[in-house]
Amino acid sequence: MSLIATGLDFLPEILLLAGALLVFLMDAVGIRRIEVVGSIAVGAILFAMLLVFADLGFAPVAFLATIPRSQIDIVPAVGSTPLYWFTSLGLFFQVFFLIAAFLVALASMSRPSRERGAAVFYGMILLATLGMMLVAVASDLIFLLIAIEVVSIPSYLLVAYTRRDARSMEAAMKFFIVGALSTVLSFFGASFLYGAYGTTNLFVLASGSAISNGAFGGGGFPLLVVIGYCLLIAGLAFKITLVPFHAWAVDVYDGAPDDVSAFLAGGTKKIGLFAFFLVFLGPVLLVRGTVEFQWFGGIGAVALGPVLQVVLSILAVVTMTVGNVLALMQKSMKRMLAYSSISQAGYMFIGIAIGTAPALTGASLQVFAHVFMKTGAFLVVAAAAGLGVGPLIADWRGMGQRHPWLSVAFALMLLSLAGVPLTIGFLSKFVLFSAAIEAQGYFVWLAVAGLLNSALSVFYYGRVLKVMYFDAPERGPVIPTSTEASVPSPGAPNGRGAVSAIGLGAGGIGYARATTIALIAIVIVALGVYPGPLLQPLAAAAQHFVNLAF
Amino acid sequence: MDFWTELDQWALLVPLFPALAFVIIGSLGERLKRFEHGGWVAVVFAGLSMVLGFLIAIGEMLGPGTYVDVHTTWFSIPASTGFPKGFSLVMGTLVDPISALMLIVVTLVGFVVMLYSIGYMHRDTGLPRYYAILSLFLTAMLGVVLADNLLMFFLFWELVGVCSYFLIGFYYAKPSAASAAKQAFIVTRVGDVLFLAGIFIYFSIYAAADPTWAASGFLFTNGNSAFLNLGVGVNSNLLTLAGLFLLAGAAGKSAQFPLDSWLPDAMEGPTTVSALIHAATMVAAGVYLLVIGSLFLGFTSIDDFAIVAIGGFTTIWAASMACTHTDIKRVIAYSTVSQLGYMVLAVGAGFAMVGLFHLYTQAMFKALLFLAAGSVIHAVTTQDLFKMGGLRKKMRYTAFAFLAGAFALSGIPPFAGYWSKDDILSSLYGQLATHPEYWPFYLMALATVFLTSYYIFRAYFLAFEGPTSREPGLADHAHESPWVMRVPMLILSGMAIVGGMFVFIPGFASLFDPALTSAAFPVTLPLNIPPSYPLIDIELSAISVVLAVLGILVAWRLWGNGRIAPLPRSRPARAMHHLLAERYYMKRAYDWIAATGAYTVARGADFVDRFVIDGTVRGFERTFAGLSQRMRKIQTGVVSDYAAYVIAGLIALFVIVLFVAPWLVSKLGGG
């Protein structure tokens, strides 16, 4: 394959890289206004999104496609060990990642015009998005893990990019240390698998057939495989914040600047789920029992697939329950959202534990829904902080009267997170849980756990609604209690010069941010009411993905 | 296509009118001050909805047994292994005899209550919120009635519950109101989660039995054939479970034992809300669900027995508690629970249409009783029966209305309640030969007839009879209510008197005719024909009438003419009285369970809080001091904890994968 053809395949990624380099270049020559830098980033993301849509074959833009249809959803020839492959499900995830980046990039244009670090912020967003795009096309374990690192390193920087706020700095340090540990675990696990199979190609790993080719020769050594997969679960679980690998997430989401929290919770954590799709779907579906291990008297040989399914199911239930229970007692809005994000990861994980096409559809939908709901919720928190609302849930008293439109948007996002009908959040949970019911067996209990958990989550989302609409606002002028040094109240003199023109409008929220929030609210309802256009192709893509590789 | 069939295509408009009112009032709010803060908007749209609803119902009476299903696909999922033809969800309206009847009930009561609110709520603040949510409630309730598939039914069912929550908590400044709202929400929510689980099980059973059902969107009209295709005995355990879950959902909504305690507490809301939601419509939705379940989804014999048992027991359980309460609204609320028990009983015994008939009459006379009680409360500003008295002379219309409602509730011929209650009792009696296990519940239902007439006439005598009020000065300023409140009471009084006899009109009777319901669907169900007075054994009817009259006489002997019956002297009687006044201690038991459960959870949460969260937070605080110190803290303090969690998690993973999971797999038999 020629270099040009390969380059064309990766045109969206190249665009993002070019955008990032351009941003840094402009920073070097002294052009640092956030409107300019932000426009470049938004433009690059939008154009990349257009190209991915074209590759997916959406009618009006299909002529722009750079990847030939004949290369999408194709099983590689036997014996070939490609580093990457294009699947429609992967391309859909690329779209989800780009949407998250787009929403955050657009909303952040309402930050103060001359704020320092705009180039770092947008550059890192673009680079992290590049890494996320690569995760979605990986077909080799090492390629996948390196792509994850390409996401992680810009994420660490993003948390600390303001370089002033002590809390952000601390959050970044924690993020980095725990992140490094999980990276080590992942690579360690990969090396075990390499030891057992003699390759890191995901197809070969998925088939489980190469075990006799491993370094240990015929017969294989199943314990190596088991340890390898355990290490990989631990390493990747860090990304998607599964309990007990979640502890960093709350501090980081809480300590990071609001826009960055939106990007981390709405965007980057989703790569963990797709990584699980890639690494574990094969073994999970591998109930043929090629890989068996025999340890305990009386039980006999056990196939790896069902064992992994049980483990992933336990992780899913533990994660959603712990996330929900801890969210119940939070007083801080951002910490509540962080725990809610953890519990949502548990719902997504039901999909991988079951591993059927409808379950993958449900999990992907949940990812899509969560991109909008959680990004939106953190952006609303950012907007509210700009309006002088404090960090505690109690500080939101009377928001319904003070800022009716912002409150309606936030209420929609919370209702969607709670899974109330006619929102996208209901749809994704419905598909997910009905897939679990359909899978029969003990998976039905996953659906039951999910249902009980969503009933539980109504309490803490409902509490926020009650505070916003039923509790009377405090008397007297509201004192700005924003602890977010990086987001000063737009319009208020802040000693750092003019506020950007974009930052002034829309009732103090900023036009760009207000537009983003409105867009998110509309999508949550519109796709909740009429999900057909998304659901059909996504379900088809999931079916392809399951049929294809494994 | 003639006019009437054409009309059914537009059934969507019936819920859409109040939805419009909701949008208008919600967005204009206080700018509608001149229109009674939006009240007249709500009345007009409810009126339009009523006119259309009645026209549709008349069309149904003129063409008995027709059904029109208009729907559009909401979303669909392609075929997969579990669903060979895929499945889709649809949104649409189904007009059939049952929904036509429910349209009459909901739109009529909805309209009169809206009108009554204009007078009753006049002095309150926050009226735009009240009218907006009441309109939204009407939309949701009509959505439940017209839904043509189970999922859409559930969506509106949830919305109804949310509206009820907001309306019970309308006086949210009052702690008791806020707590009652929360209680109602939580109890019905428990039922709803179980109901949803039931829906999922039905989906999985029927989608497997009849793929076309799933592919066409779980329509009621197709559900029946799926049920029939299933054959007898297939998956019967699962089917039983689904039926029980459905029953739990219905019991939560219709306040059946043991989920009954929220309804009397829900009386904290405005009386108009009690009349509309907690007497006539929302609480009846549970019964409606059981009717739909028995017609389209299918119950097994175990389900049927469970339904009969819960319904039968609830009748006497709630009626006995109604005998000792002194709050006029709570007495009527217990009465509602008890009457809903009759309906549930009828549905469980296989007489879905008889249950619906009682639903219809009960909605009329119970809403009437609430409106009359509201009129009293409006005049004397207390709900305590022991403080009232002698109000008949000052409030003739109200006294007349209450009396009409009381006769109807007691089942005195020819009032409305007589026809439906007698129908239930005689239908059930007919089943006793083949189902001897129904005997205790039949006796309970029969005894309840006596209790019913006793407690309602006790309330009547206490409030309206006697020379004067027992609280000096209370009734001095009492006067008859304005016309907007009198007209609704008159309309409903008319219905309470003659509404039951409408079944002698052939067209109206066709709404209850199971033969015609079956004409639309391939069903064979053991249903009795409701306007069955000529068929009833005259002896049975005589027994229940005598019991009712006896109840009235006892009430008159103890409470008539302004008397206050002294508490009985004997110890067992006192203990009984105490038990009833304390609501059988069920409320306390629930509180105890909730408190203990919450305490245990809280202890666990506290542990996590102290050792995980708190440690982190304290770590935060410390780190604000000095960079170098902070770095040291991070490296030796909190972060290492997180790393430790990761390692601990890893070790747990090894243990699970190597030891726990294989064992589980061998137990569960894999995925």
Q: State the count of interchain CB pairs (< 8 A) between A and B.
A: 185
Query: Letter for the amino acid at A303?
Result: A
According to DSSP, the residues that pair with B71 across neighbouring strands are B92
Judged on CB neighbours under 10 Å (0-12, 13-18, 19+), B75 is buried
Q: Please answer yes or no on whether B82 and A234 come within 8 Å at the CB atom.
A: no
Side chain identity, residue A426? F
How far apart, in whole angstroms, are the C-alpha atoms of residue B163 and residue B102? 19
Instruction: Give the pairing type, strands A302-303 and B68-77.
Output: unpaired
Which residue in the set A287, A299, A358 is minimally distant from B663, CB to CB?
A299
Structure tokens at B108: 């009529």
Cα separation, B113 vs B39, whole angstroms: 11
State residue B78's pLDDT score: 67
Interchain contact, A543 vs B80, CB within 8 Å: yes
Cα distance between residue B322 and residue B315, in whole Å: 11
Confidence (pLDDT) at A149: 93
> With contacts defined as CB-CB under 8 Å, which chain A residues touch B614?
none
Residue (of A124, A157, A162, A166) closest to A19 by Cα position: A124
* ipTM of the complex, rounded to two decimals: 0.75
Sequence-ordered list of residues with C-beta below 8 angstroms from that of B6, at least 6 positions apart, any chain: none
Reading the block at residue B23, the tokens are 């949008």
Residue A105 falls within a domain, yes or no? no
- Taking Cα atoms as reference points, which of B546, B518, B337, B339 lies closest to residue B424? B339
Residue A416 in any domain: the answer is yes
Shortest distance between the Cα of B463 and any Cα of chain A, in A, equals 36
> Three-state secondary structure along B11-23?
CCHHHHHHHHHHH
Best mutation site among A310, A451, A468 for testing chain B: the one with the most B CBs within 10 Å?
A310
CA A173/CA A159 separation, integer angstroms? 9
B220 CA: distance to closest CA in chain A (Å): 19
**Minimal C-alpha gap between B88 and chain A (Å):** 10
A436 phi and psi angles, rounded to 5 deg = -65, -40
Does A311 contact B653 at a Cβ distance shorter than 8 Å? yes
* Bridge partners, B70 (sequence order): B93
Where are the extended beta strands (E) located within B3-86?
Answer: 68-77
H or E element that contains B87: strand B87-95
Closest chain B C-alpha to A31 CA, distance in angstroms: 32
| Contact (CB<8Å) B643/A437 | no
Sign of CA dihedral A259, A260, A263, A269: negative
> Nearest 5°: phi and psi at A440?
60, -165
The C-alpha of B168 sits at a distance from chain A's nearest C-alpha, in angstroms, of 14
User: Which of B200, B600, B630, B641 to mutate to probe the A interface, most A CBs <10 Å?
Assistant: B200
Taking alpha carbons only, the member of B658, B222, B457 closest to residue A307 is: B658
* Cβ contact, residue pair B639, A309, below 8 Å: no
Q: For residue B63, what are the CA distances in angstroms to A389, B148, B353, B516?
A: 61, 20, 18, 10
> What pLDDT is stored for residue B587 in this prediction?
64
In a domain, A130, yes or no: no
Tokens at A401, concatenated: 């009267």
Whether residue B15 is preceded by a cis peptide bond, meaning omega within 30 degrees of 0, is no
> Which residues share a beta bridge with B88?
B76
- Domain assignment of residue A465, given as a range: 157-549
Residue to mutate among B646, B655, B660, with most A CBs inside 10 A, is: B646
Q: Which has more confidence, A402 or B596?
A: A402
pLDDT band, residue B68 (cuts 50/70/90): confident
If one counts the domains in chain A, the total is 1
Residue A297, burial from CB neighbour count under 10 angstroms (0-12, 13-18, 19+): exposed
Token representation of residue B663: 């064992």
Q: Enumerate the residues of chain A whose CB falls inside 8 A of the CB of residue B83.
A: 358, 438
Please answer whether residues A255 and A349 qualify as being in contact, where contact means their C-beta atoms are separated by less than 8 angstroms.
Answer: no
Output the CA–CA distances (angstroms, integers) from residue A324 to A419, A458, B560, in the order listed: 14, 10, 57
Query: ∠ CA A509-A512-A515 to the nearest 5 degrees?
Result: 90
Give chain B's length: 671
On whether the CB atoms of residues B540 and B533 are closer than 8 A, the answer is no
Residue B78 backbone class (left: φ over 0; alpha: ψ -120 to 50; beta: rest): beta
For residue A18, being part of any structural domain is answered with no
Torsion of CA A74, A79, A83, A88, to 10 degrees: 10
Higher pLDDT, A123 or B223: A123
Residue with structure tokens 């097994």?
B300
State the nearest Cα–Cα gap between B647 and chain A, in angstroms: 8
> With contacts defined as CB-CB under 8 Å, which chain B residues touch A251?
616, 620
Q: Which of these, B67, B69, B71, lies nearest to B92 by C-alpha position?
A: B71
pLDDT at B32 over 60: yes
Q: Does residue A191 form part of some domain? A: yes
The residue among A105, A96, A186 whose CA lies nearest residue A133 is A96
d(CA B587, CA B258): 10
pLDDT of residue B337: 92
Question: Which of A145, A121, A86, A104 is CA-nearest to residue A513?
Answer: A104
Instruction: Give the length of chain A.
Output: 550
Could you please report the per-residue DSSP string of A439-494?
H-TTHHHHHHHHHHHHHHHHHHHHHHHHHHHTSPPPSSPPPP----TTSPPTTS--
Look at residue B69 and give its three-state secondary structure. Answer: strand
Task: Give the residue on B whose Cα is nearest the Cα of A228.
Answer: B654
> pLDDT value at position A493?
37
Which of the two residues, B38 and B454, has the higher pLDDT score? Answer: B454
Q: In chain A, what residues touch B638 (CB-CB under 8 Å)?
A: 174
Listed in sequence order, the residues at least 6 apart from B661 whose beta carbon sits closer than 8 Å to its beta carbon are A306, A307, A308, A310, A311, A314
Decide if A98 is inside a domain: no
pLDDT at B205 over 80: no
**Tokens describing residue A522:** 């509309």
Q: Residue for token digits 């799926």?
A: B226
Residue B297 scores a pLDDT above 80:
no
Which ranges constitute the DSSP H helices of A329-395? 333-354, 357-386
Q: Does A356 reach chain B within 8 Å, measured CB to CB?
A: yes
- Cβ(A402)–Cβ(A408) under 8 Å? no
Closest CA to A100 of A155, A161, A167, A18: A155
**pLDDT reported for residue B501:** 82
Contact yes or no for A429/A419 (Cβ under 8 A): yes
Mean pLDDT of B637-659: 73
Going by C-beta distance under 8 Å and a sequence separation of 6 or more, which residues neighbour residue A517?
A: A107, A376, A379, A380, A383, A406, A409, A509
Q: Is B661 on the interface with A (CB under 8 A)?
A: yes
Residue carrying structure tokens 């803060």: B37
Q: Which range, of A409-413, B30-34, B59-63, B124-128, averages the lowest pLDDT?
A: B30-34
Contact B643 A166 (CB under 8 A): no
- B397 contact A CB<8A: no
- Measured between alpha carbons, how far is B518 from B294 in angstroms, rounded to an integer? 12
Consecutive 10-residue averages of pLDDT for chain A (550 residues): 77 92 90 87 94 86 81 76 87 94 91 78 94 92 93 92 80 87 91 82 70 43 78 90 84 87 90 89 58 48 75 91 83 90 92 87 92 93 86 85 86 89 87 83 83 82 81 53 40 39 60 90 89 86 77
Is 70 exceeded by the pLDDT of residue B485? yes
Read off the pLDDT of each residue in B36-47 and give the average, rounded to a whole number. 85
- B666 and chain A in contact, CB less than 8 A: yes
Spacing of C-alpha A539 from chain mean position: 19
A126-147 burial: b if 16+ Cβ within 10 Å, else e: bbbbbbbbbbbbbbbbebbbbb
Question: Which two tokens mark B523?
Answer: 């069903």
**DSSP labels for B338-377?**
HHHHHHHHHHHTT-HHHHHHHHHHHHHHHHHHHHHHHHHH
Chain B residues within 8 A of A173 when measuring between CB atoms: 631, 634, 639
The reported pLDDT for the residue numbered B260 is 81
Q: How would DSSP label each residue in B525-564?
A: -----S--GGGS-HHHHHHHHHHHHHHHHHHHHHHGGG--
| Range 99-128 of A in CB contact (< 8 A) with B | none
SS3 annotation, A16-30: HHHHHHHHHHHHHHC
Least confident of A100-109, B92-101, B118-127, B248-257: B118-127
Any CB–CB contact under 8 A between B197 and chain A? yes
**Domain-located, residue A161:** yes
The rounded distance, in Å, linking the Cα atoms of A4 and B82 is: 44
CA distance B195 to B240: 13
Q: What is the pLDDT of residue B228?
A: 55
Decide if B155 and A181 are in contact by the 8 Å CB cutoff. Answer: no
**By the CB < 8 Å criterion, does A177 face chain B?**
yes
* Other beta carbons within 10 Å of A209: 14
185-214 in chain A: CB under 8 A from chain B: 185
Residues on chain A touching B90 (C-beta within 8 angstroms): none
Q: Does B598 touch chain A (CB under 8 A)?
A: no
Tell whether A544 is within 8 A of chain B (Cβ): no
Distance from CA of B592 to the nearest CA of A (A): 20
Which residues neighbour A164 within 8 Å (Cβ) at sequence distance 6 or greater? A485, A486
Q: Which residue in this structure is represented by tokens 């919370």?
A: A414
Q: Are A238 and B76 inside 8 Å of each other by CB?
A: no
Minimum distance, in Å, between the CA of residue B349 and any CA atom of chain A: 31
Residue A316 forms part of a structural domain: yes
